[in-house]
Amino acid sequence: DAGVIQSPRHEVTEMGQEVTLRCKPISGHNSLFWYRQTMMRGLELLIYFNNNVPIDDSGMPEDRFSAKMPNASFSTLKIQPSEPRDSAVYFCASSWSGPNYGYTFGSGTRLTVV
Amino acid sequence: DQQVKQNSPSLRVQEGRISILNCDYTNSMFDYFLWYKKYPAEGPTFLISISSIKDKNEDGRFTVFLNKSAKHLSLHIVPSQPGDSAVYFCAASGLTGGGNKLTFGTGTQLKVEL
């Protein structure tokens, strides 16, 4: 199993540009989570999906952020337009909806908006 | 509003000694707690967990203690090894079982020195 796969690993973009982060969860996991890591707030949950359906998006900072999960094997997080304060490491994680937490994180995407 | 707090951003310990990482939470509905370890340029990985029906869980060199009345948990690493140097995140959930969102703290950077 290749684990949770995120792309790109690094992204540098100019303010105002659209940024799309991608995630492939572990096959068979039915929950997917997008987290953002910053020094001030640690790991904060942006949005999560169960069975491809968004369950809680209360952590999405503002309308500039959107996430989709068109099928069980792919999710995107889009920022449009991007701003310098969006610079952070974005993690995707997937898990089972079962009695044991199988939260597996990807390696993250380091986003820098200049 | 930070519901899970790790008040020590960093900790330095000598090899062979005990490392104690602390975590406080404010939400009394949390009933499942986890610790994750994160190395640079990698995603967090699950380390150990504890349910609110227990006050201690042990796995090799790692022990997690839970004090529900104080809303406090701690991770003990004995003996500490240089390979334990990483960022440790405390996390909490309101429901046992997988597929539910985890609320993370801001992390504690542990450095184990020779």
Q: Tens of pLDDT along B4-14?
A: 999 999 999 99
Q: B101 in contact with A at a CB cutoff of 8 Å?
A: yes
Q: Is the pLDDT of residue B44 over 70?
A: yes
Residue A101 has pLDDT above 70, yes or no: no
Q: Is A98 on the interface with B (CB under 8 A)?
A: yes
Query: What residue of B is the nearest CA neighbor of A3?
Result: B43
Query: Got the DSSP string for A82-109?
Result: --GGG-EEEEEEEE-SSSS---EE---E
Instruction: Provide the b/e sequence for A45-74 (b: ≥16 CB within 10 Å).
Output: bbbbbbeeeeeeeebbeeeebebebeebee
The Cα angle at residue A32 between residues A25 and B55, in degrees rounded to 5: 115
Contact B59, B37 (CB under 8 A): no
Residue A103 has pLDDT above 90, yes or no: no
